[in-house]
Amino acid sequence: MSTTQPPARSTTSLKLLSLSHVCVDVYQGAVAALVPFFLSERAYTYAAASGIVLAASLLSSVAQPLFGALTDRRAMPWLLPVSALTAGIGVALSGLSGSYAVTLAVVAVAGIGVAAYHPESARVARIASRGSHTAMGLFSLGGNIGFATAPLLVSAVIATGGLRASPLLVVPALAGAALCVAALRTVSLPATVATTSSAGGRPAGRDDWPAFLTMSGAVVCRSIVFVGLSAFLSLYARQRTGGGEFAGTAALFVLYLGGAIGTVAGGRLATRYGRIAVVRWSYTLTVPAVAGVVLVPGPLLYLFTALTSAGLYVPFSLHVTLGQDYLPRHVGTAGGVTLGLTVSIGGLASPLIGAAADATSLQTALAPLIALPALGWLLLRTLHEPEMPENMATTASGTGSGPGPDPDPQGNTTPVSRS
């Protein structure tokens, strides 16, 4: 059985939502891109600068599953333009006050805006896609592009006018809010939210909490590496390459750009080799890649940054689908943890990396990141491919007949179309 292709009107909605996703996820990458400017203009220590990254990532990561629970109970399409504006205003205000407390507060507001956008936008995109995995991939790609664009935008604005020019960073938010409004006008949303995990509304299968928690431990290792590099790679690239501001911005851009490539590659590789195998190999290859970033000087740093980006991003969407299949009765919880709470651990580690850099050197502080993908691989060795959703639905119903969800090779399910 094949997925239903979205009609032209829904295709327009998806394109608008994808563009709004670009605009909003600019603010996911903007805070880390601002760190070098906070250090140079305000003489922050590494620990103080990483605290700003923590304020944004922690609030966003904790709030995202909460917003997900809310939007599972009640549709809130108005959240899309409001959250886009909230994220942009928070980042735009970050450069205006010399107060560290005020800066922390406004970037935290930006993090909440980002958190509010994603669960509801994903729900609306799912409705507009009519079960098309290609269409949902387009929506996800928009976020990756926004993340990658952030360091270029921040550098262009702040390098020209200093932190006082930060209000100009609100422009993507204004565009994103307008795109959200336009998208909502072109998609037909149901009056209520109803979610079921199998045909006939019956919960399918049993939750495998030990496997889910083990995988979450690996995701935490990935999170610490990614957030740690996001916070300090720009500064480190300047030191290691002997370049200026552009050298740091380029390194951060390469790290984020891998999200667009890795997300697409992860799905295709999993189709051919299986999710668990692809995730394990990704963690394995990330070990020498991170070692190259930390230890190899000169322009080769960019090559190792690209390899690190691929290693970190290829398993990203696979973590989510694996988590949902390990917890078929708690799909919302699985998504909230894999996308939200585990990311906050990476934010919590950033101040520790910053404090170590202040006490020793940035290279010494980043060196422990090399070991974390190896630890993640050790955790993943014990995991099995979860039972596929259609098999669990069959077990729950006691028969192989009747309508049920169509699986894709990554373990996602697509509702069967009914006339």
Note the Cα 225 to chain centre separation in Å.
14
What pLDDT does 398 receive?
43
Asked whether the beta carbons of 50 and 231 are under 8 A apart, the reply is: yes
Residue 404 phi, psi (nearest 5): -155, 180
pLDDT in tens, 133-142: 556 667 777 8
- Classify burial at 313, counting beta carbons within 10 Å of its beta carbon; exposed 0-12, middle 13-18, buried 19 or more: buried
Q: Which CATH superfamily is domain 7-189 in?
A: MFS general substrate transporter like domains (1.20.1250.20)
The pLDDT score that the predictor gives to residue 189 is: 67
Q: Residue 242: CB partners within 8 Å, gap ≥ 6?
A: none
SS3 state at 406: strand
Q: Are 366 and 224 in contact (CB under 8 A)?
A: no
CA distance 110 to 91: 6
Query: 321 with 410: CB under 8 angstroms?
Result: yes
CATH 1.20.1250.20 spans which residues of the chain?
Answer: 7-189, 202-412
Measured CA to CA, the distance from residue 234 to residue 251 in angstroms comes to 6
pTM of the model: 0.71
Question: What is the DSSP-derived secondary structure letter of residue 340?
Answer: I
Secondary structure letter of residue 338 according to DSSP: I
d(CA 253, CA 251): 5
DSSP for 2-21, please give it.
-PPPPPHHHHHHHHHHHHHH
How far is the C-alpha of 316 from the C-alpha of 259, rounded, in Å?
9
* Interatomic CA distance for residues 342 and 186, integer angstroms: 35
CATH number at 202-412:
1.20.1250.20
Q: What's residue 263's pLDDT?
A: 74
Those residues with Cβ within 8 angstroms of residue 157's Cβ, 6 or more apart along the chain or in another chain: 165, 166, 168, 169
CA 390 to chain centre: 27
Where the chain has pLDDT below 70, the residues are 1-10, 126, 130-137, 189-204, 331-333, 335-336, 339-344, 388-419
pLDDT digit string (tens) for 375-419?
A: 999 999 999 888 755 444 444 444 333 333 344 433 443 333 332
Compute φ and ψ for 315, nearest 5 degrees.
Answer: -85, 0
